[in-house]
Chain A
Amino acid sequence: MNDGGALSFAVNLLAAGVASGTPLLVVTMGEVIAERSGVLNLGLEGLMLVGAMSGVMATLATGSALLGLLAAFAAAALLASLHALACISLRADQVVSGLSLGFLGMGLASVLGAPLVGAQAQLDRFTVRPVPFFSELPVLGPVLFSHNGLTYAALLAAPLIWWMLQRTRPGLHLRAVGENPEAADGLGVDVTAYRYAAVCLGGGLAGVGGAALSLALTPGYVDGMTAGMGWIALGLTIFARWSPLAAVPGALLFGAIRRLPLDVQGLDVGWLANPSSGYFLNMLPYLLVIGVLVAGNLRWQRRGLGAPASLGQPFVRGAQR
């Protein structure tokens, strides 16, 4: 392989990483918001599938992918509000509730989505729209400026959400609710309202992430099309240390690794010709999640940068700790 070939291989891989990292990025940002408020949502996989399914359903009904996207957000947010009700108001265990929510979502998507399978042809979708001028740039052009609208929006949303969290009053309240709800409550912040809002918004974004698959990346609904992305996003949330900005390189990395098996098949390298190496490459993202979590945790724990302090704990006013 010559130098030009290596460069174009890398550029292709990066561009593909950005594209296929988009759903991951959106879902991860949603989970960052929810976990920053102190509520863990393990049901991302189900929420993504519901989003993917209802996105396709609404797009077919209305003919507009944008309305489909809204429907995906609304449907997943509605489903996530069940999780909010269980964990926040009824103080159920967040792990159990989140897992059940995930399975509920998968089941719902599977049943309601069955008639949608195979309806790709007439489906409106988010198509690739290169940004004029910028897409002509070498390297940066294909990597950053030749994507569909959802990818641009997700990349812009990351700094926006970071700014909201760090520089605005609602963001400050949200962080305080996740770190020390007693303190926030003592200062008149409505802990319950913030947690509900964060869980529903986070769930809605998971739905949008699903729709980013079914309306843009691989148009059309297929059962189980998220293929574990929801789980990867959970790991990515920790990898990104609960920061929407750090989620961007994380999502790009995982997106690229997901694409790796496809891209290397075109290469003329001996051991890759072995068909079982494909299985190995397909396994990589999941292996990486585990590795990254272990390594990252060790490092961040030493620096005292942990999870939001009240993550996973219900809040009861006046309860003794």
Chain B
Amino acid sequence: MIVTSPAHASPVPGAVAPAVELCGISKRFGETLALDGASFAVQRGQIAALLGENGAGKTTLMQILAGVQAADSGELRLAGQRVELASPRQAIARGVGMVHQHFQLVPTLTVAENILLGAPRPRFLLGRQPLHVEIAALGQRLQLPVDPAARVAELSVGERQRVELLKALWRGARVLILDEPTAVLGPLELGPFFRALRALAASGTAVVLITHKLTEVLAAADVVTVLRRGRTVARDLPIASVDGDRLGRLILGSEETAAATGEAAAAPMTPPAPALAASAPLLRLRRVSAIGQRGERALDDVDLEVWAGEIVGVAGVSGNGQRELAQVIVGLRPALAGRIALAGQEITRLPVRERLARGLGYVPEDRLGDGIAPALSVQHNLALGLFRQPRAPWLLPWRALAQRSAELVAEHDVRLQSLAQAAGQLSGGNVQKLILAREIDARPRLLIAAQPTRGLDLGATAAVRERLCRLAAGGCGVLLISEDLDEILALAQRVVVLFRGRVAGTIDRAAASAEAIGKLMLGRTADLAAAEPV
């Protein structure tokens, strides 16, 4: 590690040097300039939000601070001292800890083992009992309760996040970077989480919150820095001095703002009520049960209907059967019991291909893993949808396909360099638009969309939601599985809440409120209050 001489004087004479200061950071990945002279700072005891669209460079900037990536140019100061962090180990030694968006936990190890991994002590023997007690005590003190002996694979997402936080703090992090920490939390988990963050800050930790959710920034942060296309467009704005509109304009840049800010035209997007004249629902599940990945009963006696022209929202805290529900309907997971009918025809035992041929469309939750073949070109990925045609030719008509692909890409506003580009290189929002383009091109009667906007920026989110509404308006049924309650409230006519694989309740949108749904999501009836994380 190279530490140069004490820093130049801090910008404001007499002020305490910030815990972290990044100046003029640039980073290039191949053709893309991810960061272009970006800057950022956070003080001890402060929660600083780093805001920006996907691809604005938020994560890259913080990975540089955490030693995961190396900057091409620019300088990095910790408590006024200029440093170079060539590896995560050096960053940790300097007290910088990062909780990544995709958790960096080893699922087969226990909570304690994950926390001890790479920690400065113990030196050799992992004396288990005393460490377990110590870890549990630290968790209690920091309002981050965990069971040290539990295997991480068995924990809920919220619990895993607590383990990640403890892991960083156990190793003495004084600067804690959180990459999109709330993406995985249910609405009632947010309160305790932000309280824990506040307590951490109060104890002198500098907390960096990477996010693209304006409401969270306004609720939880002290100051906010906004990145746009790799540049810092606003730095250290006190939260009292900004509001949602102003932040929205900063994030998107003034010219694009009108198109996609804020409420994203939620109200007019609502499709008309379904034509009740139709005799049978498009999709009907009767007492469907299924076994999950770990042998548990992931779906238990689920009844569900989706009518033509209707968007039905499926809400629930992550891991309460949503994934299995989508898989069972599509045919990726066998139903243990019960019947599934599509447009009146039973499909319970049909293979996936048959179901798709009968008009099922699927936008999977894991876009890169299940939705596309990342190494294949955009055009090949679009062509993958072709087999649904009853007489798909053995030899693919590449010229016609190229033309059709170009049309689809233009129609769905997928931004790319060329059709020959590997689909995995596109940004998350464009991958999602690509998948939607492929699914919609197959003219589905019923579309299952699992977490369709998770991790997407404002513009792409609005585009995807609008597309779903247009589908429903055109008579397609949509089953919208989402952990974003606002999304469900904005789009769905009916909300089905899953809790531990059972339907905890079905609410009409007219009667739905975030509170009522939130309670059902935790398996509570309307009377029981007292928010407590699961």
Query: Which residues in A have some Cβ–Cβ distance to B below 8 Å?
Result: 167-170, 172-173, 175-176, 179-180, 182-190, 302, 304, 309, 317-318, 321
Answer whether A179 and B106 are a contact pair too, CB < 8 Å, given A173-B117, A187-B118.
yes
Is B104 in contact with A182, judged by CB distance below 8 angstroms? yes
List 19 contacting pairs A-B, 8 Å CB cutoff, sorted by A. A168-B125, A168-B126, A169-B122, A172-B117, A179-B106, A180-B105, A182-B104, A183-B103, A183-B104, A183-B114, A184-B106, A186-B68, A186-B88, A187-B119, A187-B167, A304-B294, A309-B108, A317-B68, A317-B87
Residues of A within 8 A of B87 (CB): 185, 188, 317
Q: How far is the CA of A179 from the CA of B69 in the complex (A)?
A: 22
Is A186 in contact with B125, judged by CB distance below 8 angstroms? no
Q: How far is the CA of A172 from the CA of B127 in the complex (A)?
A: 12
Residue of A nearest to B98 (CB): A186
8 Å CB contacts to A: which residues of B109-129? 109, 113-114, 116-119, 122-126, 128
Is A188 in contact with B69, judged by CB distance below 8 angstroms? no
Is there a chain A Cβ closer than 8 Å to B6's Cβ?
Answer: no
Q: Add 16 more A-B contacts to A185-B88, A188-B92 (CB < 8 A).
A: A169-B125, A170-B124, A172-B109, A173-B117, A173-B118, A176-B113, A179-B106, A179-B107, A179-B108, A179-B109, A183-B103, A185-B87, A187-B92, A189-B117, A302-B295, A304-B295
Shortest distance from the beta carbon of A135 to any chain B beta carbon, whole Å: 34
Residue of B nearest to A321 (CB): B102
Residue of A nearest to B122 (CB): A169
Shortest distance from the beta carbon of B8 to any chain A beta carbon, whole Å: 29
Residue of A nearest to B103 (CB): A183
Shortest distance from the beta carbon of B425 to any chain A beta carbon, whole Å: 9
Shortest distance from the beta carbon of A96 to any chain B beta carbon, whole Å: 19
Q: How far is the CA of A180 from the CA of B104 in the complex (A)?
A: 8
Residues of B within 8 A of A179 (CB): 106-109
In the complex, which of the residues A176, A309, A318 has the most CB atoms of chain B within 10 Å of its own CB atom? A176
Residues of A within 8 A of B107 (CB): 179-180, 309
Residue of B nearest to A303 (CB): B295
Is there a chain A Cβ closer than 8 Å to B32's Cβ?
Answer: no
For chain B, the count of residues having a C-beta within 8 Å of the partner chain is 37
Is there a chain A Cβ closer than 8 Å to B377's Cβ?
Answer: no
Is there a chain A Cβ closer than 8 Å to B100's Cβ?
Answer: yes
Is there a chain A Cβ closer than 8 Å to B293's Cβ?
Answer: yes
Answer whether A180 and B125 are a contact pair too, CB < 8 Å, given A173-B117, A318-B68.
no
Q: Would you give the 0/1 interface string for B148-164, flagging 1 where the beta carbon is closer than 8 Å to chain A?
A: 00000100000000000
Shortest distance from the beta carbon of A319 to any chain B beta carbon, whole Å: 11
Is B105 in contact with A183, judged by CB distance below 8 angstroms? yes
Residues of B within 8 A of A317 (CB): 68, 87
Shortest distance from the beta carbon of A221 to any chain B beta carbon, whole Å: 39
Shortest distance from the beta carbon of A169 to any chain B beta carbon, whole Å: 5
Residues of A within 8 A of B171 (CB): 187
Residues of B within 8 A of A190 (CB): 89
Is A169 in contact with B69, judged by CB distance below 8 angstroms? no
Shortest distance from the beta carbon of B92 to any chain A beta carbon, whole Å: 5
Q: How far is the CA of A19 from the CA of B109 in the complex (A)?
A: 35
Is A318 in contact with B118, judged by CB distance below 8 angstroms? no
In the complex, which of the residues A169, A175, A302, A317 has the most CB atoms of chain B within 10 Å of its own CB atom? A169
Q: How far is the CA of A189 from the CA of B118 in the complex (A)?
A: 6
Answer whether A168 and B106 are a contact pair too, CB < 8 Å, given A186-B68, A187-B117, A304-B294.
no
8 Å CB contacts to A: which residues of B50-109? 63, 66, 68-69, 87-89, 92-93, 98, 100, 102-109
Residues of A within 8 A of B119 (CB): 187
Q: How far is the CA of A321 from the CA of B88 in the complex (A)?
A: 18
Shortest distance from the beta carbon of A193 to any chain B beta carbon, whole Å: 11
Is A176 in contact with B117, judged by CB distance below 8 angstroms? yes
Residue of B nearest to A170 (CB): B124
Residues of A within 8 A of B125 (CB): 167-169
Contact of B106 among A169, A176, A304, A321 (CB under 8 A): A176
Shortest distance from the beta carbon of B128 to any chain A beta carbon, whole Å: 8
